[in-house]
């Protein structure tokens, strides 16, 4: 090592919206900013946080997801922005894997990847895939002029519940990142955050995996 300073050499990768809930799909932000229950202990432990890119904002028309609102048409799914979304996610997964690899190559310990586990983009397995998830959402009676957290959250499922009813999609971004990291011989630890699971159980799981004392 050519330098000596105070950095911890420890990093955790985190889905963008878990640090910045303002990026969440309209109506689904259940905290004002970050999930402080686990973000603050990570910061206090001196672990660096790498905020991963948010493909949905990049590919679905920004914070307001205007392409989902105005352009998604079940009778016209042959649109470039729909077909290009998996490719865009794969490009950002490659970029993220490069950042992960860079830390590892420079002697850092990447302790884990905290990701949004029920998302069609940042989930891993047994999620509902884009664009069908949004067609199903509209079929359920969701109205773009009335996206209200208290009405949307009860409709969410855990990946286990999605699996039980036959969902078989893979997160367009996170599953590619997993494949890429494993192909490079790295051993990523994936730590899902699921809004419908008890927060304390998930915090305990993260603290244990990241070796942070929460006593
Ligand atoms: S789950 Fe991923 S893609 Fe969706 S809002 Fe969060 S960071 Fe963005």
The CA distance from 179 to 131, in Å, is 22
115 lines ligand 1 (CB under 6 A): no
Please state, as a whole number, how many other Cβ atoms lie within 10 Å of the Cβ of residue 56: 27
- At 146, phi and psi to the nearest 5? -150, 70
How far does CA 83 lie from the centroid of its chain? 20
- Ligand 1 atom nearest the C-alpha of 23 is 5
Query: Which residues, at least 6 apart from 24, have a Cβ–Cβ distance to it below 8 Å?
Result: 17
pLDDT of residue 105: 97
pLDDT of residue 1: 67
Name the closest-CA residue to atom 6, ligand 1. Answer: 17
119 lines ligand 1 (CB under 6 A): yes
Q: List, for residues 117-141, the tens digit of each pLDDT value.
A: 999 999 999 999 999 999 988 888 8
55 lines ligand 1 (CB under 6 A): yes
CA torsion 181-203-55-26 (nearest 10°) is 170
Mark the ranges of the chain whose per-residue pLDDT is less than 50.
none
pLDDT of residue 215: 59
178 lines ligand 1 (CB under 6 A): no
Per-residue b or e along 19-55, where b marks 16 or more CB atoms closer than 10 Å to that residue's CB = bebebbbeebeeeeebbeebbebbeebebbbeebbbb
pLDDT of residue 137: 85
- Ligand 1 atom nearest the C-alpha of 123 is 1
- At 131, phi and psi to the nearest 5? -95, 0
Q: How far is the CA of 78 from the centre of ligand 1 (A)?
A: 24
Residue 14: strand pairing partners: 51, 114
Q: What is the pTM of this model?
A: 0.96
pLDDT of residue 49: 98
**Helix, strand, coil content of the chain in percent (nearest 5):** 45, 10, 45
56 lines ligand 1 (CB under 6 A): yes
- Ligand 1 atom nearest the C-alpha of 54 is 8
């Amino acid at each position: 090592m050519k330098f000596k300073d105070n950095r911890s050499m420890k990093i955790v990768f985190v889905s963008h919206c878990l640090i910045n809930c303002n990026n969440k799909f309209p109506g689904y932000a259940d905290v004002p900013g970050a999930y402080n229950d686990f973000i603050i202990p990570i910061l206090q432990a001196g672990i660096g946080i790498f905020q991963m890119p948010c493909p949905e904002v990049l590919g679905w028309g920004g914070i307001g997801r205007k392409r989902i609102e105005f352009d998604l048409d079940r009778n016209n799914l042959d649109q470039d922005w729909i077909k290009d979304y998996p490719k865009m996610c794969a490009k950002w997964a490659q970029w993220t894997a490069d950042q992960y690899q860079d830390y590892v190559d420079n002697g850092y310990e990447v302790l884990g990847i905290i990701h949004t586990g029920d998302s069609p983009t940042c989930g891993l397995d047994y999620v509902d895939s884009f664009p069908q998830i949004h067609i199903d959402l509209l079929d359920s009676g969701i109205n773009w002029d009335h996206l209200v957290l208290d009405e949307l959250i009860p409709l969410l499922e855990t990946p286990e519940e999605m699996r039980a009813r036959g969902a078989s999609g893979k997160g367009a971004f996170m599953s590619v990142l997993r494949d890429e990291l494993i192909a490079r011989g790295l051993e990523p630890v994936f730590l899902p955050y699921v809004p419908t699971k008890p927060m304390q159980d998930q915090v305990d799981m993260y603290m244990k995996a990241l070796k942070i004392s929460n006593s």
